[in-house]
Structure 1
Amino acid sequence: MNQQVKDRVQEGFKERMDYDELLNCMRCGFCLPSCPTYIESGKNELHSPRGRIALMKGVVDGDIEPDEEVKRSLDMCLGCRACEPVCPSGVKYGHLLEEARDIIYQEEKQSLPVKGLRHLVFAQLFPYQQRMVGLMGLVRFYQQTGVQSFTRKLGVLKAFPETMQIMEHVLPPIPKRKDIKNRPTQLKSLHKTRKKQVAFFSGCLMDTVFMQTNEATKKLLQYAGCDIVIPKTQACCGALHGHSGEKERAKEMAKRNIIAFEEASVDYIITNAGGCGAFLVDYDHLLKAEPEWAQRAQAFTAKIKDVTAILVELDFHKQPLQLDDEIVTYQDSCHLRNGQKTFKEPRLLLQSIQGATYVEMNNADRCCGSAGIYNMLEPKMSMQILDYKMTQTKQTKAQTIVTANPGCLLQMMVGIEKHGDPETMRAVHIVDLLLEAVENARDRQEKGSVHR
């Protein structure tokens, strides 16, 4: 950073950072054992929550220049927010981190390639679902036409980082464009009585790369007794923007979603991706300074609920669920646990499956290293964190690793490829496993009725 940029960043910190929140940090150190980057960096305070807060406060006070070391410390953070539940002062570290990143990224001078790429991703791609569908069509073409196998044979992928090579290998088959587009916007309960009227937040990657998981989510909600509305005008949640220093664009996404879901008279807005859900439930904070939106944002966030939470609320875990004998473990989505405070419900659902033996993973609540696109931007640290996670996974002897977020799912797939045995171990989203279990139980019941 040149001096002019440093001066603008420092002024931005003084004007925008919540100084009272910075002062709330007592430097007690309770956050240190919960922070993966602090642990994996050899207990370097620069890469701990209290260390980063001290840097932010130092910049505001004028004691520290906002140089590359400050930026590096903030970039190294996963944003997992594991420090928040253990903080005795209740410091909203995630809010501080997002504000600081936004100030730095909006003020720093970026190279033309980086600036162009950020504009393409944040302004031209993620805000427009049809463009996401088009991009996924290109990925499907790559997967289905022999280009993928040809690329692998030529060894082209060896030019890319190891993480990207494995990610390319584990990426699920992309659905056909017509299958993505031709889906109903309303679904009726499959239960004998309707229990709830809900809206479903489809997401962007979830509704393309993981379309089958979205379909499984809707089917589970129908089995649980929900009528479902899927607003066509909904947009990307804005989490990628908010975590990457694009706060104004995140606000644009938030406003589009609030408008889209206001038109649906529903009990809840259901999500199935921990990262999306945690950002959606923070819309009230994101828009608190805009009087015309603040109250509407509060009404929106009050309705956000993860699919596992509503399934437990509607006693889905009490109906027959059946799998063949297998050991199952669960990897927490950081944002589902730390942002939405949802962690008991997934475990209760998994423990309710007959034929499945649930084994709790040691430090299941520690980040897997995915953190949105962190595994692409910080592959070395991401893989260090994943190595630890796979060591804990292996100790459970589980054949099935269950997650509740697409990034976690891909990261655990990478872990299986890198450390496990793809022939005997799998990673699945919890709703896909639950649908497998409920339909397996129904099939057995039907066969039993026929035999009788």
Structure 2
Amino acid sequence: MTKMQQAFKERMDEDELLNCMRCGFCLPSCPTYVESGYKESHSPRGRIALMKAVVDGIIEPDEDVERSLDLCLGCRACEPVCPSGVKYGHLLEEARDIIQQHKKHSVPVRALRKVVFDGVFPYQNRMRLLTNFLGIYQRSGLQAVAHKTGVMRLFPESLATMEKVLPKAPTMKDMKNRPTALPTLASKQKRVAFFTGCLMDTMFLETNNATLTLLQHAGCEIVIPPEQNCCGALHGHSGEKSKAKELAIKNIKAFENLDVDYIITNAGGCGAFLVDYDHLLKDDSDWSSRASAFQSKIKDISAILVELGFHKKHKLTLRPQRVTYQDSCHLRNVQGTFLQPRLLLQAVEGVDFFEMKDADRCCGSAGIYNITESEMSMQILDHKMEKVAESEATTIVTANPGCLLQMKLGIEREGLTGILRAVHIADFLMEALDITEADVETVMER
């Protein structure tokens, strides 16, 4: 038995593997199963069977097994429909981690993973620096030159198109001038902490500011611990579990003594990973109970706004437009938040809300999946854009940065820029909220 096989046998949860009854309820919900032409090895049931076969020593964890697991989006759409309640996402992450820890990467790949996972995402100052470089590229005219000279044609099509739809990067001054506490702008209802995220507080800074303003107007006193860091989702999904645990422990330390009712997130992927901290640290006697206490307070921005009746207490108005909603997979499938965003959108005057068919089907973003598995990602996105077209919407609202960029990518690929737009729900609600510019500036008060 190889070391990798032995690790599968020792580390995989065999009870969870046996919970899968092979009933097939998961099959229609799995995008890669459908898009691969109903290939069993690209379904949740098939992947679990492969994991079990490795654990039992029937097969080796070869390239075919790794390929099957790599092609999985990790959207976890299989979990809500599973009658046995199999935690497929936990099995997938454990298997990926085992493979990565025993795999011999080439020197370039090993160096790239070291830079990304160890050198960049754990350090917010480095995230700011990279975002600042992007801002210089965008504002200096270099981006315009790159487009005119055709330099971007040297890159894969999906990456070149993604470069076009990236948000305008904030300045270093704006990224550094972040609040650590904000007062409520209405009758106080809750005291909350805000999880800023790494990408959200750099590339998507405006969305974070919008989120904070909405919380203030909903009656929330806000604390924002500066010691927090990346949630660790990218690490956890990519076979870097030990690093994910380090990041989780740092976040728990940053939030656990704040005396707050909730910890608010505005990124579906981050929120889902934060909710799973209790599983991530379940074998750590020093941190398991503290992780459970932490994850019990996680709540998405849309959930708290509905809980506090924000959409009933404030006038929300926009120009007439047809709006549809694209679910963030992890917000829906892991956090169970899907009704609240729709209630908020339907409360906006001028909005004709239309429920898109298969709104709960993954858009193909899945973290960095649209980069590492571009062909499958674009295939899934093309089908998603077909459903968008059927909805006849002029605005797509979503609740996760990756989903937002993916939908913008779809709009650009379809040549619909200027006709159709994609927007984060926090930014959309800010557009609809009848407040003054002075109110918005209050976000930056310390």
Q: Give yes or no for TM over 0.5.
A: yes
Q: 1 CA distance for matches of 2:3 and 2:415? A: 48
TM-superposition CA deviations, 1:199-237 (whole Å, max 9, x none):
000000000000000000000000000000000000000
1:31 corresponding residue in structure 2? 26
Q: List, as ranges, runs of 4+ consecutive aligned residues in structure 1 with deviation greater than 2 Å.
A: none
Equivalent position to 1:199, from 184, 188, 193: 193
1:113 corresponding residue in structure 2? 108
The Cα shift of 1:262 comes to 1.3
1:449 corresponding residue in structure 2? none
Q: 2 CA distance for matches of 1:366 and 1:135? A: 32
DSSP 3-state at the match of 2:434:
helix
Equivalent position to 2:295, from 301, 305, 319: 301
1:360 corresponding residue in structure 2? 355
1:427 corresponding residue in structure 2? 422
Q: 1 CA distance for matches of 2:121 and 2:257? A: 23
The one-letter code matched in structure 2 to 1:281 is V
- 1:392 matched to 2:411? The reply is no
- Structure 2 residue ranges without an equivalent (≥5): 438-446
Residue pair 2:192, 2:262 contacting (<8 A) in 1 also: yes
| Root-mean-square deviation over aligned CA pairs | 1.0
TM-score using structure 1 length: 0.95
TM-superposition CA deviations, 1:11-50 (whole Å, max 9, x none):
1100000000000000000000000000000000010000
1:189 corresponding residue in structure 2? 184
- 1:177 matched to 2:172? The reply is yes
Q: 2 CA distance for matches of 1:432 and 1:417? A: 20
Equivalent position to 2:41, from 28, 41, 46: 46
Equivalent position to 2:311, from 283, 298, 317: 317
- 1:278 matched to 2:272? The reply is yes
2:147 corresponding residue in structure 1? 152
2:444 corresponding residue in structure 1? none
2:87 corresponding residue in structure 1? 92
1:447 corresponding residue in structure 2? none
The Cα shift of 1:161 comes to 1.1
The Cα shift of 1:439 comes to 2.5
TM-score using structure 2 length: 0.97
1:62 corresponding residue in structure 2? 57
The one-letter code matched in structure 1 to 2:327 is D
Q: 2 CA distance for matches of 1:32 and 1:415? A: 25
Residue pair 2:315, 2:434 contacting (<8 A) in 1 also: no
2:258 corresponding residue in structure 1? 264
Equivalent position to 1:344, from 333, 339, 342: 339
1:377 corresponding residue in structure 2? 372
DSSP 3-state at the match of 1:335:
helix
1:255 corresponding residue in structure 2? 249
The Cα shift of 1:438 comes to 1.0
Equivalent position to 2:131, from 129, 136, 139: 136
- 1:14 matched to 2:2? The reply is no
Equivalent position to 2:325, from 310, 330, 349: 330
The one-letter code matched in structure 2 to 1:394 is A
Residue pair 2:271, 2:298 contacting (<8 A) in 1 also: yes
TM-superposition CA deviations, 1:245-278 (whole Å, max 9, x none):
0000000000000000013110000000000000
1:448 corresponding residue in structure 2? none
The Cα shift of 1:420 comes to 4.6
- 1:401 matched to 2:396? The reply is yes
- Structure 1 residue ranges without an equivalent (≥5): 1-5, 444-452
The one-letter code matched in structure 2 to 1:297 is A
DSSP 3-state at the match of 1:203:
coil
Percent identical across equivalent pairs? Answer: 66
